[in-house]
Chain A
Amino acid sequence: MSPVDLLYTALAVALFGLGLGALALSARPLKKLLGANVMGTGVFSLLIVTARGPDGATDPVPHALVITGIVVTVAATGLGLALIRRTRSASKD
């Protein structure tokens, strides 16, 4: 791994760890959802680093995975937010 790859891998893992911590330690649903989003961002960053092969050529498969993943994350976050609002209005009654 080149020094740049090492730096990006370290940052991606740090994002993943921060998100995992927020997901596990926070009692608030919104913070958990944001934590899962930060974890996902870490995974996407990692996939982008691994897309750079040893010969310097870019592997398109991880890039396609990340694009798919981002759209799925947006959809899942939207559904998660709707669920959070629903539980909040249910617990008010």
Chain B
Amino acid sequence: MTVLVGVGFALVSLALFAALVATPEAAGLGALARSEIAETGVSNPVTAVLLDYRAYDTLLELVVVLLAAVAAGALAPRDPAPAPLDGPVAEAAAGLLTPGIVLVAGYLLWIGSKAPGGAFQAASLLAGGLILLEVTGKTPPPRSEAASRALAGLGVLAFLVVGVGVAVAAGSGVFLDHPAPFAGSLILAIESAATLGIAAGLLALFRAGTAPA
């Protein structure tokens, strides 16, 4: 029976592949994204899509991370916290790798405006560093689970403050419109807050599995 169903899934995959190969190639939105890039304040087209053209999607995605952290935190009761990793390898990994991880995360955040990088890459890396500290028993800041959950809202907050603030200050009334002369600085400000927010959210998700020590 299982073999039969497996063969069925293989056939579905084959049909999917055939359909994808038969689909005519389209030009996509690449040319349009590149021709308007001077207006966005950044020169990396992926960052331009995330923080300018489709800023709404990115705002709501930060809401998804916040909601996941809050929902996971609400799921009591917890298992007792496992014993922290110790020994020379864990010590060296946490002590030697974490400073480098934080440095590279900062670099990725900064370079995101002109080359591959940005808030998401930086936040994933930063969260990895924080979790490395967490499993080796060196509780990183924010120290409590509640604080890390609250900080997860930082990116959403920055997005809303900048979005509403600029719309009011510029008198345009257009939410999430970043006017060209300040767009680069506004995007870097939002991305910095989003990096800390996403990293805190991922740390809160990690902490949600265990009871506070």
Contact residues in A for B139 (Cβ distance below 8 Å): none
Contact residues in B for A86 (Cβ distance below 8 Å): 75
CB-based contact A68/B58 at 8 Å? yes
Q: Chain B: interface secondary structure?
A: helix
Partner-contacting stretch, out of B47-55, B85-93, B98-106, B181-189: B47-55
- Chain A nearest CB from B30 CB (Å) reads 4
CB-based contact A53/B25 at 8 Å? yes
Interface residues of B, count at CB 8 A? 50
CB-based contact B205/A46 at 8 Å? no
B170 at the interface (CB under 8 A from A): no
Interface size class of A (residues with CB under 8 A): 35 or more
A-B contact count (CB 8 A): 130
List B81-131 residues whose CB lies under 8 Å from chain A: 118, 120-121, 123-124
- Chain A nearest CB from B35 CB (Å) reads 12
B144 at the interface (CB under 8 A from A): no
A46–B58 CA distance with the chains assembled, in angstroms: 21
CB-based contact A53/B202 at 8 Å? no
A13/B17 contact (C-beta < 8 A), A24-B5, A70-B120, A79-B71 known: yes
Contact residues in B for A60 (Cβ distance below 8 Å): 29-30, 33-34, 45-46, 48-49
B72 at the interface (CB under 8 A from A): yes
A55–B72 CA distance with the chains assembled, in angstroms: 45
Contact residues in B for A61 (Cβ distance below 8 Å): 28-30, 33, 49, 54
Contact residues in A for B64 (Cβ distance below 8 Å): 71-72, 75-76
B169 at the interface (CB under 8 A from A): no
A34 at the interface (CB under 8 A from B): no
Contact residues in B for A85 (Cβ distance below 8 Å): 75, 78-79, 209
CB-based contact A71/B198 at 8 Å? yes
A57 at the interface (CB under 8 A from B): yes
Contact residues in A for B48 (Cβ distance below 8 Å): 60
- Chain A nearest CB from B1 CB (Å) reads 10
CB-based contact B25/A1 at 8 Å? yes
Minimum CB distance partner of B31 in chain A? A57
Known A17-B9, A25-B5, A50-B28; 18 more pairs at CB < 8 Å: A17-B10, A24-B5, A58-B45, A60-B30, A60-B45, A60-B48, A61-B28, A62-B28, A67-B50, A67-B121, A75-B65, A75-B69, A78-B68, A81-B209, A82-B209, A83-B75, A85-B75, A85-B79
Q: Which 9 A-B pairs have the closest CB atoms?
A: A17-B13, A78-B205, A60-B45, A59-B30, A75-B68, A82-B72, A64-B49, A59-B28, A21-B9
